A and B are shown apart, each in its own frame.
Chain A
C-alpha cells in the first residue's frame, strides 16, 4: 500500500502509518491529514512538529498521557491538556497526530 506524493511512492501499513519515516515531508503530512479529515492549522503543526522532535530524541511515539505532560512543560497548561489535544485531533491525538507526523502508532495505543 502506498501514497503517491509529487511522483514519489510512499509506502504505508494497513492503517495508513508510514513504513519509512524518513520519507515524511509536509506534503506527505498534508495527505495524511486529509485522510484523517483534519484541516491543518498552526496549532496542529505545533503538535505534529513536537511529536517529530520527541521521536527524534527518544525513538518512540509517546503515549497520550506522556504527550500531555511534555506539552504542559514546554507550552503551558492550556496546550498541555487532553481537551486541547482532542479539539485538534478528535479521533485520538496520539493516533492521529502521530500518523500525520509520520511516526509509528504509539506503543499501547489501541
Chain B
C-alpha cells in the first residue's frame, strides 16, 4: 500500500492535535482513524493531547454505561503503525487533577535498538509543546 511512496515524495511532519474528551462527540475517534489511515504514508507523525483530550489516554476506561465502544485499546496499536510520539501537556493534566500515572502505559518497539520497548508518551509543558508545534509542517486539530 505504501510501497513506492518514499520515492519522490518528501517526508513531512504531521501533528494531530487532540483537544476533546474521548466520548460525547465523534472527534476523538475520527482523529484516531485519520491517524491510522495517514500512517500508511510514511510521514513523520506526532500526536498531541491537551485540554480535555488528555482524557483519551486515561487507563481503565469503561463505556458500558454510555453504550459506546471503548476504543482506547487502539492507542496501544499506534506503535505498530510507527506512531511513536504522543505529546501530553502537563498543565492540561494538572488542571484536571490527573497525573502521568492515570494514563495508559503506551510503548513502541524501537527497530533501531534491537526492538527495545520504549515509552510513546512524552510529557511536555505548554511552552515545550509550543516549540514542538512550531516545528511541524502540517497541523490538524480535532
Contact = CB atoms under 8 A, between A and B. Distances in A.
B40 A108 contact: yes
Contacts of A57: 73, 76
Interface stretch (A1-9, A23-31, A63-71): A63-71
Contact of A108 (B36, B69, B71): B36
Interface size, B (range) = 10 to 19
A26 B68 CA distance: 27
Interface in B69-96: 69-71, 73-74, 76-77, 80-81
Nearest to B78: A58
Interface residues of A, number: 13
Contacts of A63: 1, 36, 39-40, 81
Given A64-B1, A69-B80, A58 B36 contact: no
Interface in B1-33: 1-2, 33
8 contacts: A58-B73, A58-B76, A60-B36, A60-B74, A64-B1, A107-B37, A108-B36, A108-B37
